Amino acid sequence: VRLEMELRKAIETNAFELAYQPQFDCRGGTLVGAEALLRWVHPTDGPISPVDFIPIAEDSGLIVTLGQWVLRRACQDAARWNAHSSASIPVAVNVSAHQLRHPRFTDDVRNVLEQSGLAAGLLEIELTESQLMANIEAGVEAMRRLRAAGVRLALDDFGTGYSSLSYLQSFPVNSLKIDRRFVRTLPDSGQPIATAIISMAHSFDIAVVAEGVEMPEQLEWLIEAGCDVVQGFLTGRPMPFEQFADLVCKEP
Ligand code: G
Ligand code: G
Ligand code: MN
Ligand code: NA
């Protein structure tokens, strides 16, 4: 309850920040995107992980307001970093089940895109398998609306839920992100699952992003296995806007 009140106050006082973690193409090694990650520095307790406050924000309904702030800020920031560069670098935003279910969500997305001036194709929405599986029909409906608005979709934490192949076929996603629990055990025990995910995704024309890449051996294995994009501490930690914008400027 204390955290909930402080969360409410933090929203009012604009106490949140976004960090951007770069994503790189496996073939050319070029910068191809960033995931926006929410950061809250509590006045006395210091940094609090979204793992700890997102569930509270969800239960209290504050996630809708907080999520709108994240979406708006991420689109504004991406519009800024692309204004200074000839490259077009998209931003990926995590969206919770509550937000996705909200009837006005797609309208909010459209408004934010229009106000920020960011091209719809430069926004990617990350959804998790588990949030979609809770209500498949509603999830597919929401995904179709977002795709119709021109937004890209990614399936986050892939492999940790229970979705079957047939569902993957009906999910209109552009990419899926192999959960870092499988990446962590590459090139050893994670191999069979990572191989299967890559092959299955490619057969549906879905791009594969590996998250949590920390070791050179993991990166080498992923390149060899045909993974499309990598994200992790090895290639880049989440960083403040200014630092990420500098990275974009260095792109050819
Ligand atoms: O980097 P990190 O510890 O921040 O992320 C932890 C978890 O919090 C991840 O599962 C990530 O998807 C989630 N997360 C980070 N930012 C956001 C956000 O803006 N909205 C939602 N719903 N989840 C987020
Ligand atoms: O669930 P989601 O993919 O949105 O989670 C992103 C989370 O993963 C963030 O907390 C981010 O800080 C964290 N993260 C990013 N790269 C790495 C990595 O290489 N190793 C580990 N352990 N965590 C990472
Ligand atoms: Mn994510
Ligand atoms: Na993830």
Pairwise CA distance, residues 80 & 60, whole Å: 32
Residues bordering ligand 3, an ion, CB closer than 5 Å: 94, 126, 156
pLDDT greater than 90 at residue 241: yes
Confidence at residue 155, expressed as pLDDT on a 0 to 100 scale: 94
Beta 175-178 vs 207-211: how paired, if at all?
A: parallel
Asked whether 152 and 175 are in contact (CB, 8 A), the reply is yes
Centre of ligand 1 from the C-alpha of residue 187, in Å: 26
Name the residue type at position 151.
V
Q: Which range among 72-81, 113-122, 156-165, 188-197 shows the weakest confidence by mean pLDDT?
A: 156-165
Centre of ligand 1 from the C-alpha of residue 5, in Å: 20
For 90, the token pair is 């998209």
Residue 39, SS3 per DSSP: strand
Asked whether 27 and 82 are in contact (CB, 8 A), the reply is no
Mean predicted confidence (pLDDT) in 103-117: 96
- Beta strands in the chain, from DSSP E residues, in sequence order: 16-25, 31-42, 46-48, 91-94, 123-128, 152-158, 175-178, 207-211, 229-231
**Cβ of residue 54 lying under 6 Å from some atom of ligand 1:** yes
For residue 168, the surrounding DSSP H or E stretch is: helix 165-170
Residue nearest to atom 23 of ligand 1 (CA): 94
User: CB under 8 Å to 148, separation ≥6 — which residues?
Assistant: none
**Cβ of residue 179 lying under 6 Å from some atom of ligand 2:** no
Domain boundaries, the chain: 2-247
**Cβ of residue 94 lying under 6 Å from some atom of ligand 1:** yes
Give the pTM.
0.96
Centre of ligand 4 from the C-alpha of residue 250, in Å: 27
Mean predicted confidence (pLDDT) in 181-198: 94
Centre of ligand 3 from the C-alpha of residue 108, in Å: 20
For 216, the token pair is 């050179």
Taking CA atoms, 95 is separated from 64, 183, 218, in Å, by 10, 23, 28
Q: Tell me the pLDDT of the chain averaged across its residues.
A: 93
pLDDT, greater one: 136 or 239: 239
Interface confidence (ipTM) of the complex: 0.96
Residue nearest to atom 6 of ligand 2 (CA): 37
Name the residue type at position 61.
G
What value does the CA radius of gyration of the chain take, rounded to a whole number of Å? 18
Q: How many CB atoms lie within 10 A of CB 34?
A: 29
Centre of ligand 4 from the C-alpha of residue 89, in Å: 20
What count of Cα atoms within 13 Å lies in the side-chain half-sphere of residue 24? 20
pLDDT, greater one: 13 or 89: 89
Phi-psi region for residue 126, left (φ > 0), alpha (ψ -120 to 50) or beta? beta
Mean predicted confidence (pLDDT) in 150-174: 87
Residue nearest to atom 13 of ligand 2 (CA): 212
pLDDT, greater one: 199 or 85: 199
Q: Which range among 82-86, 111-115, 118-122, 144-148 shows the weakest confidence by mean pLDDT?
A: 82-86
Residue 197, SS3 per DSSP: helix
Pairwise CA distance, residues 227 & 183, whole Å: 11
**Cβ of residue 70 lying under 6 Å from some atom of ligand 1:** yes
Asked whether 173 and 128 are in contact (CB, 8 A), the reply is no
Residue nearest to atom 12 of ligand 1 (CA): 94
Residue 160: nearest ligand to its CA?
4
Q: 2-247, what's its fold?
A: TIM Barrel (3.20.20)
Residue 243 banded pLDDT, cuts 50, 70, 90: very high
Centre of ligand 2 from the C-alpha of residue 108, in Å: 27
For 98, the token pair is 């509550």
Mean predicted confidence (pLDDT) in 158-180: 86
